[in-house]
Structure 1
Amino acid sequence: MRVTSVLVWVWIVMAGAVDAAPETSLKPVARAEKPTTASIPTLSDFRPTARPAVLEAALVEQLTHQFQAEADPGFQRALASQIGMTTRAFAALSPQAIGLSSRPNMRPNGIVEKAMAQRRARAKGAVCGDPDIQGETVGFVPGRLSACGIKNGVKVRSFSGVTLSQQAILDCKTAKAIKTWVNKGMKPAIGNTGGGVSQIKVAAHYACRTRNNQAGAKISEHGKGRAIDISGFKLRDGRQITLLQDWDRRDTGAMLRKMHKRACGIFGTVLGPDSDRFHKDHFHFDTARHRGGSFCR
C-alpha cells in the first residue's frame, strides 16, 4: 500500500514537470503559415525611388563644379568646340554618379609627334605590304642567265626590327617567310640572351649562279631571289654567335639547332652545318617547292 502511494506521487510530480516546462522539451514546433501571394516581394520592391527634383539639381550642380575643377582643360574645350556640349550638360548625363573619374594627363606634343613620325617612316619604308619588312622596292631584276632573275624584287634591310648585315634582294614570298622565321624561330631560340639579336649576318642572297657554284648544276634558288644564307648573329650586348664556331657548343649550339628545326615548314629547303660540306658555316633557307614537302637536313 505504501509502495503504491509512492508511485502515484512520482507520477503526479513528473506530469506536472512536463506541463510546467514546454519550452525546454523536444516537441516539434508547428510550421509557420504559408505566405500569401500579396506578401511575396517583387522586383519593383527593390527598385530605387526617384530622387526629388531639388536633390537631382543639387547633384548636377556639384558634379558641374567638380568637373570644372578637375577635368583636363583641353577636354573641356573639346566639349564646347567639337562636341558642342556644355559642362553642365556633360555632368547631367550621369546624375547618379558619385564623382568624376580622374583623367590621365595628355601626352606632351613632342612624344606624340615623335611616335607619328616613326609610324610614317615605317609605312614609307615598308615593302611587300608589311611594315615589319623594311627596305625598298627594286622591281624587275634581270639575270645574266635565262633561268635567273626576279620579276618583282625587293631589297630588304631589316625584319621585325632586326637589321641585316647587308641588304638582301629577294622576292616577297621569301621575304615574308624570313620574317615569319625571325619571329617564330630566331627570336624565341635566342630569348633574352645578350639582350636579343640586333643583327643577322647575311652570307648570301640574290646571285645568278648554279647550286653550290658547281659546274653543270641547276640554277640555284639564289638566282631566282628565293634564298638567303645566314652565317651568324650579333647580340645587343656586342657578342657574336656564328654557325662555324658555335654549332657544336652546348649553350649556343642548342639555340642554333632550335632555329634550324623551326625553319622546317616555313621554308621549302632548310640546310645547316650537318647537311653537307657546302653548308658548314651557314644556314641555307629557300622557298622552293618540293613534292614531298619541306626538305630539312
Structure 2
Amino acid sequence: MTRFWVIGLVLASAQLAWAADPAASLRPTPRGGNAVEQPITLEQSGALAQPQQSVEQDAAKQRGGLFSSLRPLFRSPKAAKEGRAKKKLLAKGAVCGDLAIQGERVGRVTGKLRGCVIEDAVRVRSVSGVGLSQRSVMDCKTADALKVWLDGSAKPALSKQGGGLSSIRVAAHYACRTRNNKKGAKLSEHGKGRAIDISGFRLVNGTEVSVLKGWNAKRYAKAMRRMHKGACGPFGTVLGPKANRFHLDHFHFDTARYRSGSYCK
C-alpha cells in the first residue's frame, strides 16, 4: 500500500510542475556528446527586443528632429565666411561689396518727379583710388561701370601725364530732373541714379585738365578721346563734346541699355 502511495505522490508532483512551467517540462536535456539545440526563447528571437528597438529609433528621430529644427540657426561655413567678409568691407568703407568702391550706403532715394527713385543708393567718394570731387549718389551698377572705366581707360590714358590720375571732377550725379533740364522731356537717367557727368581730371602733380579745354588741346586730345571711347561698353550711353551743345564741357555716362547696344557720341 505504501508503495502505491509513493508512486501516486510522484505523479501528482510532476503534474503540478508541468502546470507551473509547461515549456520547462518539454525542454530536452543534453545527451552525451550530441547536444540537442536549445529552443530559442522569446527574448532571443527578438520578439521582446522589438519594443526596445522602437524606443531607440524614436529617440533618434527626436534627436534628429531637434537638430533639424536648429539647422536654420546655423550658417554654412561659406555663408559665415561671406558674412564676415562683408562686415570687413563695410568696416573699411566699401560699398557695393567692392573694396575699390569707397563711400556709404544711402538706401532708398526718391524725388519730386515720378520715377525719380533709387532703390538701394550709395554715396561714392572714391573708386579704384581715384577721388571724386564731390560725393556722388548712384546705384551700384553705375558705380561698378565707373570702376571698369577708370581701371580700363581713364587711368591708363593719363598714366604718363603729371604722375597719373588723382581725381575726377564730377559735374552732376543724382538729380531729379528731365533730360537737359527741358520742360516736358523724358526723365533723365540722373533721376534714376544711373548717370554721372565728368567735367575734368586732376593729376597727381596738381594739374587740372578740363574736358572743355582738353578735348582739342594738343597735349591731352589723345587721352580725352581714349577715355571717351573706352566708356562705350561699360556704360550704355556716352556723350561728349561732339554730341551736342549741352555736352561741350563734360562727359555724360549712364548705364541705360538699348537693344542695339551702347549709344556713344
Normalising by the smaller structure, the TM-score range is 0.5 to 0.7
Match of 1:141 in 2: 109
Aligned CA distance change for structure 1 residues 130 and 215 (closer, same or farther; 3 Å): same
Shift in CA distance, 122/150, structure 1 to aligned 2, threshold 3 Å: closer
1:287 alignment counterpart: 255
TM (norm. structure 1) is: 0.59
Counting only pairs closer than 5 Å after superposition, residues 83-94 of structure 1 correspond to structure 2 as none
Higher RCO (CA 8 Å, separation ≥ 6 residues):
2
Report SS of the residue matched to 1:259: helix
Match of 1:154 among 105, 122, 135: 122
Describe the superposition over 1:24-61 as per-residue Cα deviations: whole angstroms up to 9, x where unpaired: xxxxxxxxxxxxxxxxxxxxxxxxxxxxxxxxxxxxxx
Deviation at 1:192, TM superposition (A): 2.7
Count of residues in correspondence between the two structures: 178
Matched, 1:196 2:193: no
Structure 2 CA distance for partners of 1:121 and 1:172, relative to 1, 3 Å: closer
Determine which structure has more spread, i.e. the larger CA radius of gyration.
Answer: 2
Question: Which residue number corresponds to residue 229 of structure 1?
Answer: 197
**Larger deviation: 202-211 or 247-256?**
247-256
Q: Distance in 1 between matches of 2:208 and 2:91?
A: 31
Shift of the 221–208 alpha-carbon distance from structure 1 to 2, 3 Å rule, reads same
Deviation at 1:271, TM superposition (A): 0.2
Q: Percent identity?
A: 61
Shift >4 Å, 4+ stretches? 120-123
Paired position in structure 2 for 1:219: 187
Residue matched to 1:110:
none
Q: 1:162 to 1:276 in 2, by over 3 A?
A: same
Aligned letter for 2:143?
A
Q: CA, structure 1 residues 123+188, in 2 after alignment: closer, same or farther (shift >3 Å)?
A: farther
Tell me the SS of whatever aligns to 1:179: helix
Distance in 2 of aligned mates of 1:219 and 1:260: 24
Write the distance in 2 (CA, Å) between the matches of 1:185 and 1:121.
26
Q: Is the 8 A contact 1:270 1:284 kept in 2?
A: yes
Cα distance in 1 for residues equivalent to 2:168 and 2:152: 15
Correspondence 1:242-257 to 2 at 5 A = 242-257=210-225
**2:231 equivalent to 1:263:** yes
Match of 2:246 among 250, 266, 278: 278
| C-alpha distance in structure 1 between counterparts of 2:219 and 2:206, whole Å | 17
The correspondence for 1:241, drawn from 209, 234, 258, is 209
**Structure 2 CA distance for aligned equivalents of residues 284 and 123 of structure 1:** 32
Q: Is the 8 A contact 2:100 2:129 kept in 1?
A: yes
Q: What's the Cα RMSD here?
A: 1.2
Q: Determine the structure 1 residue equivalent to 2:5.
A: none
1:121 to partner: Cα distance: 7.8
Unpaired stretches in structure 1, ≥5 consecutive residues:
1-119
CA change 1:122–1:198 in 2 (3 A) is farther
Give me the whole-angstrom Cα distance separating, in 2, the residues matched to 1:267 and 1:123: 29
Unaligned runs of 5+ residues in structure 2 are 1-87
Aligned residue identity for 1:151: E
- State the TM-score, normalized to the length of structure 2: 0.66
